[in-house]
Amino acid sequence: MEWYVVGLGMLGLLMGFILIGLPIPFALAAASIPFLLDILSLKSSLVTVELKLWGVWFNYILLAVPLFVFLGELIGRSSIGPNLYWFMHSKLPIRGAAAYGSIGACAGFGAVCGSSMVGALTIGGVALPQMLKLGYGKRLSSGVLAAGGTLSVLLPPSLILLFYGIVTDQSIGALFIAGVVPGLILVTMFFIIVFIWGKVNPEDIPGHENATPIPWLIALSALLPIVLVGLVITISIYAGIATPTEAAGVSAIFMLGLAFSFGGLRLKGLLEALKATMQTMGYLGLLLSSGVLFGFVMTYHQIPQQFTELFVDMQLSPYAVLAMIIVFYVILGMFLEPVSMTFITLPTLFPLIHAAGFDLIWFGVVYTITMEIAVLTPPVGLNLFVIQSLARDKVTIGDVIIGCIPFIAALVVLLFVLIGMPDTALWLPELME
């Protein structure tokens, strides 16, 4: 069977299964099995499926995923996350402190947790009701928090960068550190957007906020765990002391102790954090397993290699190829969430980027920013619905979408900065070497 027949057939089946409402992990597996049976007997196919599905659960590198998710859940279930926002809000003696504090809290949370959704839920759950109560505009409040959650995806550790590194076989440590400078630039751009918003629509930012000052002892109970765990992750990975998995394990245990000691975590909160982690990993585990199976069938038929050769023969310029891929992901991101896109499309497209002459570490950051745009674009923008669900009676999904537009524009500007100046992402990894 020709490679393009297999490729189009798998893609057609996948889209058909998704359209009829089949969950993506099962859609991936169901689209793979008919073409797996074409190359193997039924008995061999069953064995292959078992090996591919279970092999993911024993992958040492992927063990970092549930550990980082658990780390984020511990912060969310304890008082560390809420107190981090309280500190950022009450200790900023400027107009718009709650908005700036939300961005700062999301950035701080992103330094220890790689999940955009967990970041948006943890900080947004505290900040959104408070900002609305203080008199902030609904669109500004929801837009800041939905976009702020994406900082967890770019600032290390990042689950998307982790998945990208696994699929493309790139150094996860190098990918993490490559996201630092773009992440800090994005935080600065978000601050500028809030400042400009306050000038254009002054009614959306109250002139005076009656924020209760946070006692310094409580502030330290929030800052200390975040700083310590952030240092443990950063130093251990970049100094070569530990792998990302080992760093995630040590950080999770460390945060568990800090959450009980400083964050008021109790047994009930720990059990809820474990339950939430297992629920998240139940979906992610199935998605990863079926994605590996999908990739195995594509690789057997050499679809990525043939697809790359086809584009090389067309003799397109490297930047034309890059532009096509970015537009493709932005459009696809309107319908699929980032993890699914990573395992469905990246095995086919990253060889094309490599053949075009682009650095794969640099493209990892570009790819991650594109995924950030995906979680902010309807109709399947995860962060949009996460934030709207926190205040259904006061904020509509339209408010969240409109509020996110300036922040999406900032992400697009950052993409152009990275394309025009690749050293923005590559300078720090090269310096660390």
Q: Where are the domains of the chain?
A: 3-432
Give the pLDDT score at 195: 92
Going by pLDDT thresholds of 50, 70 and 90, the confidence category of residue 55 is low
Give the pLDDT score at 236: 84
What is the pTM assigned to this prediction?
0.83
Task: Please compute the mean of the pLDDT values over residues 20-37 and round it to a whole number.
Answer: 83
Give the C-alpha distances (Å, rounded to integers) separating 362 from 7, 112, 156, 375.
28, 22, 15, 21
**Which pLDDT tens digit goes with each residue over 364-406?**
999 999 988 887 887 667 778 778 887 778 888 888 889 999 9
Task: Please compute the mean of the pLDDT values over residues 198-213 and round it to a whole number.
Answer: 80
Give the pLDDT score at 52: 67
Half-sphere exposure of 228 (CA within 13 A, CB side): 18
Chain centre to alpha carbon of residue 247: 19
Task: Please compute the mean of the pLDDT values over residues 93-102 and round it to a whole number.
Answer: 83
CA dihedral for 150, 155, 161, 163, sign (positive or negative): negative
Tokens, residue 151: 């900082």
Average pLDDT over the chain, rounded to whole?
Answer: 83
Residue ranges of alpha helices (H) inside 111-179 are 116-134, 138-149, 151-154, 159-168, 172-178
Distance CA 269, CA 210 (A): 30
Going by pLDDT thresholds of 50, 70 and 90, the confidence category of residue 301 is confident
**Which pLDDT tens digit goes with each residue over 57-85?**
677 777 888 888 888 888 878 888 888 87
Task: Please compute the mean of the pLDDT values over residues 162-179 and round it to a whole number.
Answer: 87
Give the pLDDT score at 56: 66
**Burial profile 244-270: b = 16 or more Cβ within 10 angstroms, e = fewer:** bbbbbbbbbebbbebbbebbebeeebb
